[in-house]
Structure 1
Amino acid sequence: MKVLFLFDDLILGQEPIGVTTISAVLKQNGHECEAINSDQTPNPSDLIEAVAKRKPNLLAVSTCTGQHKEMLARTRILKEALGLPVIYGGPHPTFFPEMIEDPGADVVCRSEGEYPMLEYVTAMQEGRDYRNTPNLWVKKDGEITRNGVRPNLDDLDSLPFSDKELVRPFEHLWKDGIGYFITARGCPFDCTFCYNHAQREIESGPNVRRRSPANVIKELIETKERYGFRYIAFQDDVFLIQNRWLNDFLPMMRDQVRLPFHCHSIANVMRSEELTAQLAEAGCLRIFFAVETGDEATRLRILKKPVKNSDLFRARDLCEKNGIDIVSSIMVGIPGETLESILGTIAMVIKTRVHCMIVHFFMPYPGTELGDEAVSCNAFDGNFDLLPACNHDNLVTNVNGPADLIEAIGQYGYWFLEKPWKFYATRFLINTIKSHKIRMAWMRYLKSTIRYFPESVYHLPEKEWVEASIQKLDKAYQQRCKTSSPPQNQHLPVASGALAMGAK
């Protein structure tokens, strides 16, 4: 059975590890998988030709809210022209499975897809009925079968390594020598803007699950040797949890892999100077943690993200002391956003002294608590089909202030971080001049001065820094090997609970 995955530029911003793991499971069981970038064939006839020449038995699409509209339009065309069945998975189908009613979809997979997909594909190949497969909503003969969601897969080590050959044709993913990996699934936090809390409502079984350190290291070594990776991007929601796991993993990363990496965290778990030093020694160059908003009360009560301003400053100090760069992000357009609050957010990012910043405009995604709140308070009309695929460009919610000015400040955020004096000048002008026309004229002037993308846009380190880090890791390893009695790894005290990065 041959499965053709339809990608687009958005999902190919990095390796889509969920999809490549599904591909690995399918290949492990004798099926064939291939992928194309449907954005490279925007003309319908070219897309039909590109799909037809690969002779698939099934089309598979992973999609997010906003992205789903264009992908459904494409699969409608392909179904009509080629008569192929189409299965959808990913965040949007998980929380909005009603998309099964669209003519462009035959099956929707909710939540984790490795084994639901395998069971579906195998049943198709063998001519068996697949309508009662857990996790799937199936449309057949005009009727829709809505199945429940099976318990989460507990043993992640039982999965094959992600199928990087599936994305081998996409050269941009390989040119910088970056390998994308996950060590865990799930997130222990309940931020209202994120899907994790909503996912727990439809799933059962353990939420946060982690591969064994040995399993991760084995994959890193194998892929480093096979593909020549020079930099590792860990894509876990929160990498810095579970001290016991980190105590085992980081020395192995330092001694056996010896590649620089970045990871994602949350500032409130970054409490241990010892662990931050261990991270740096193992090759961590950058840590991602989000400011989200400069208003602590909004962050704690509305976003329900348990990060105080003091947590941000402590994480900043730990990273600076150990030579680790910070990549942060903000969210513009949270329900209740005002001119004062967006200015406070930019000011907080500057105070945190982050090296890179990612600007997100709040998206009221279906199934999220804050998305529902945005609808109830009339910040959003509830039409998810109007949401854009990309959340970096424009406001989509109603705000408590001049929307065009708030949007312009968010759009210019990168340059404010690059040149803080421009931010302070802008804040002074806004606070002293009440004319909306003059304020907007100033923002248009600032945009007219843009001649380049600032360094703060790019969240991956420069190649020279990566290569220097590799040399440093190799040199330190060689020095340790020369030591007749190498020092034992300094293990941190393991606090109780799942989170414990030096928790009190």
Structure 2
Amino acid sequence: MTEKSRAVLFKRIMIINPSSSVKMTKEGRVIMSLNISFEPPRMPLSMAIMAAGLEQRSGDVKIVDSVNMGLSRASERAIIASYGPDLVIVNASTPTITDDMASIRDAKSLGAYTAAFGQHIDALPLETMADHPDLDFCFLQEPELVAAKFVDHWNSRDKLDNSLGLAYRSEDGQPILTPPYPRASLETFPPPARHLLDQSLYRLPDGEIYTTLLASRGCPYDCGFCVAPVYHGLKTRRRDPISLVNEVIEVAENSHIRAVMFQSDLFTSQKKWVIEVCQELIQRAPPIRWICNSRVDTVDEETLVMMKKAGCFLIGVGIESGSPRMLSVLGKKKVEPERIEWMIHTCRRLGIMTNGSFVIGYPGETIESLRQTEELVMRLPLDFAVFMCAAPFPGTRLYQYLTDPETPHRLTGNWENIAFHDYVIEGGLSPETVKQFNSRIWRKYFFSLHYAKLRLRDLKHPVRLTKTIWYALKRLQKMRKSFR
């Protein structure tokens, strides 16, 4: 970047969650097509936190959540043109990278500087900049904080080399990386700028508006298919329980929202912290419903009882497989199917709903391991379930394995195909076998007498039950099309 090119100060900044051909949730480690899961539309928390930090610098920041607003490319471009930003920042992921970079090109053609962050950018910043010359900057490691520091450096004419966690272009256009931005305490993150988003876009299956709160980042379990260790690190950083519950209270009092999702790579990684959060909620917060995620080997009955008492009504559980051998291959060596059954049945007995996720087709998968998974699924009282094709996102151990020329398995397809609704691994089970299994298992489970009996417990909430069933039927229709 020459001094002449830095004559523009960043006073008007736009952050975009671009539309794509497949509607995706792109938030932290969650890169999920809404067509194959019961995942409700999720507030783009990272964008809202980033916007809060940038508001302190520029004062004029706009968020455009094109995905959940249902905007077309043309509508998004018109919004960029009308707003006239100095800098446009795009949230990017591997399966949507082509559409994400189309938004970058639109912004560049309208006279804005451009930047990107997200799962794909963090894994392949230099490669992405080399492939897309209209991309000026990448924000890495802690993009919410990196963006704010970068604007400080830019507007004060400081050398960009001093801006940590940044990729930028030299005077001859070559991408350059600065040293990494250190992993930061979550207490240094500003509260998300929820006022810049239409909160009514984010609703649970029963129609209630909910919001997302940052609870922790990082996961000590290096599962081969998961981007969490790449994006947020293996060390878990947790919010102070008092600070976290203060935000819950603020949201309830100011926005009248009584349902929240605690966003974490693994919410239940430490029992002591979970208990402290629950105690704070019970003692100080108004009655709320909340969602979190968990592994089956990081909770006991005491913890689940306390979570239920504090308002937890749904836990997303990474189950992955019913095969002990495949659980070990996937990175869950100490997890046994019996432990999975214990947790799901315990949650049901306590009145906590569960959403189980399964990874199908990981290298080493066989017809026998698929049979074991199917048998386990039909024994579990899951309220929701998602069956995902193994997806080798850049940076994961699975991606590294498949791009090693010495391995018997290979990676096929384009970036758009690296998604949980597609299968791009050769050398093991065929794509047809994996997709046919996914298509068959969700039909077998959700249209079984076993599942119908589970839903009878919701009869005491007829309005909620009706809305949830309608939501589920629409999602199941999309799942059927996705796995054809």
Query: Normalized against structure 1, the TM-score is what?
Result: 0.77
* CA 85–144 in structure 1, closer or farther in 2 if over 3 Å, else same: same
For the residues of structure 2 that align with 1:112 and 1:16, how far apart are their CA atoms?
Answer: 15
Give per-residue Cα distances to partners, 1:41-95, cap 9 Å, x unaligned: 5354x4432201112110001111111111112312331x212111111111111
Give per-residue Cα distances to partners, 1:286-315, cap 9 Å, x unaligned: 211122112111111343454221221221
Q: CA deviation at 1:356?
A: 0.8
1:153 maps to 184
Q: Structure 1: 5+ residue runs without aligned partners?
A: 424-453, 467-504
What number of residue pairs does the alignment pair up?
423
* CA 263–296 in structure 1, closer or farther in 2 if over 3 Å, else same: same
1:95 maps to 123
For the residues of structure 2 that align with 1:193 and 1:115, how far apart are their CA atoms?
Answer: 27
Note if 1:163 corresponds to 2:173: no
Q: CA deviation at 1:398?
A: 2.7
Equivalent residues in 2 for 1:140-219 (5 A)?
A: 140-141=170-171, 142-154=173-185, 156-168=186-198, 171-173=201-203, 176-199=208-231, 207-219=235-247
* CA 462–168 in structure 1, closer or farther in 2 if over 3 Å, else same: farther
Higher strand share: 2
2:144 maps to 114
Q: CA deviation at 1:29?
A: 3.7
For the residues of structure 2 that align with 1:412 and 1:167, how far apart are their CA atoms?
Answer: 38
**Root-mean-square deviation over aligned CA pairs:** 2.9
| Residue number among 135, 138, 156 corresponding to 2:168 in the alignment | 138
| Residue number among 12, 27, 40 corresponding to 1:2 in the alignment | 12
| Residue number among 285, 296, 313 corresponding to 2:313 in the alignment | 285
| Residue number among 368, 376, 383 corresponding to 1:355 in the alignment | 383
Tell which deviates more after alignment, 226-235 or 91-100: 226-235
1:267 maps to 296
Q: Percent identity between the aligned chains?
A: 20
Equivalent residues in 2 for 1:65-80 (5 A)?
A: 65-79=94-108
* CA 36–170 in structure 1, closer or farther in 2 if over 3 Å, else same: farther
For the residues of structure 2 that align with 1:328 and 1:462, how far apart are their CA atoms?
Answer: 24
For the residues of structure 2 that align with 1:341 and 1:76, how far apart are their CA atoms?
Answer: 45
Q: CA deviation at 1:275?
A: 1.9
2:5 maps to none
- State the AA in 2 paired with 1:3: I
- State the AA in 2 paired with 1:284: C
- State the AA in 2 paired with 1:280: K
For the residues of structure 2 that align with 1:396 and 1:93, how far apart are their CA atoms?
Answer: 21
Q: CA deviation at 1:170?
A: 6.5
For the residues of structure 2 that align with 1:353 and 1:269, how far apart are their CA atoms?
Answer: 19
For the residues of structure 2 that align with 1:462 and 1:248, how far apart are their CA atoms?
Answer: 34
Query: Normalized against structure 2, the TM-score is what?
Result: 0.80
Equivalent residues in 2 for 1:8-407 (5 A)?
A: 8=18, 9-11=23-25, 13-38=41-66, 40-44=70-74, 46-79=75-108, 81-97=109-125, 98-101=127-130, 102-141=132-171, 142-154=173-185, 156-168=186-198, 171-173=201-203, 176-199=208-231, 207-257=235-285, 258-271=287-300, 273-304=301-332, 306-376=334-404, 377-381=407-411, 385-388=415-418, 390-391=419-420, 393-398=421-426, 400-407=428-435
For the residues of structure 1 that align with 2:354 and 2:400, how far apart are their CA atoms?
Answer: 31
Q: CA deviation at 1:168?
A: 2.0
Q: CA deviation at 1:266?
A: 0.2
Question: 8 Å contact 2:12–2:58 — kept in the other structure?
Answer: no
- Largest Rg, 1 or 2: 1
Question: 8 Å contact 1:106–1:140 — kept in the other structure?
Answer: no
Q: CA deviation at 1:347?
A: 1.8
